[in-house]
Amino acid sequence: MQSACFTAETTTNGVIEHDFTVGGVTGAFWSPQRADRAPLVLMGHGGGNHKKSPAMLGRARLLALHGGFHVACLDAPGHGGRPRTAHDEREIAAMRQAMEAGEPVGPIVVRYNAHLAERAVPEWRAALDFLLGTPWVGADEPVGYFGLNMGTAIGVPLTAVEPRIKAAVFGLHWPDALAEYARRITVPIEYTLQWDDEHIPRESGLALFDAFASKEKTLHANSGSHKELPRSESDSAVRFFVRHLEQPEPQQPDLTW
């Protein structure tokens, strides 16, 4: 077991926030006040972001307050103040150059995210060992994963190999490095894409959704560009985890025709 501990604790409007580290990897952990044992939702942040970006804080609050979940987010490798390798610096520079030259960033993002996933997947599994060993979460509580963009590039390979993850929300990524892992995922998933995404071709998003081997899966496609994901999709994710982590009975199909 790697060295791991919780550090600072703050409480804001009904949500308790802890910082923690596991083997040098920095993370944040949120709980509703007076929460007992509850399922845990892991959140993956996007590229260029960190564990307490506005999107992460917003989703953590929704999950904790509306879903009653414990929530955890790790800084991805090279993010959130974690040291960058020479490889990180080269790829970040390559992305910047491509954006400035008006060239497609997709191929670089796919390649770099796949590299980050190789580093991040074992970090997440170690963090899960640590968190499930705490008195608040407990070893038997079901675990969910919620991450878009780079959070999906890491979360799909993670969910393919980590049996403790019982449900996941993904979205907004190219299928290239991910389809082979998606075909190994059988837990319920929700996948979101933007119908007018200027970076990720629509057919690519549909193909990745199709690749998931889950018996229960849902696609949400919203009109709008890559960055115009509606806020309502976060609410949808919370309800998805409530259905799948807190209600273990399978959903009865609705008798409409």
Partners of residue 41 on adjacent β-strands: 71, 144
What H or E segment, with its residue span, contains residue 161? helix 150-161
- 242 burial level (CB within 10 Å; 0-12, 13-18, 19+): middle
Least Å from the CB of residue 142 to its own copies: 18
Query: What is the torsion angle, in degrees rounded to the nearest 10, for the CA atoms of residue 238, residue 67, residue 126 and residue 23?
Result: 110
Q: Which of 209, 211, 237, 245 binds its own copies (CB under 8 A)?
A: 209
Stretch that binds its own copies, among 22-30, 136-144, 162-170, 225-233 (CB under 8 A): 225-233
Helix, strand or coil, per DSSP, at residue 142: coil
Q: Is residue 128 a contact residue for its own copies (CB under 8 A)? A: no
What's the rounded Cα separation, in Å, for the pair 15 and 31?
A: 6
Q: Is residue 106 a contact residue for its own copies (CB under 8 A)? A: no
Residue 178 or 237 having the CB closest to its own copies = 237
Least Å from the CB of residue 208 to its own copies: 13
Q: Is residue 104 a contact residue for its own copies (CB under 8 A)? A: no
CB–CB of 242/161 below 8 Å? no
Residues 230-249 that bind its own copies (CB under 8 A): 230-236, 239, 243
Residues 33-52 that bind its own copies (CB under 8 A): 46-49
The region that residue 85 occupies, defined by phi over 0 for left and psi between -120 and 50 for alpha, beta otherwise, is beta
Q: Which of 26, 149, 159, 204 binds its own copies (CB under 8 A)?
A: 149
Q: How many CB atoms lie within 10 A of CB 28?
A: 22
What's the rounded Cα separation, in Å, for the pair 104 and 114?
A: 17
Least Å from the CB of residue 225 to its own copies: 9
Least Å from the CB of residue 240 to its own copies: 8
Contacts with its own copies by CB under 8 A lie at: 46-49, 54-55, 148-149, 195, 206, 209-210, 214-224, 226-236, 239, 243, 251-257
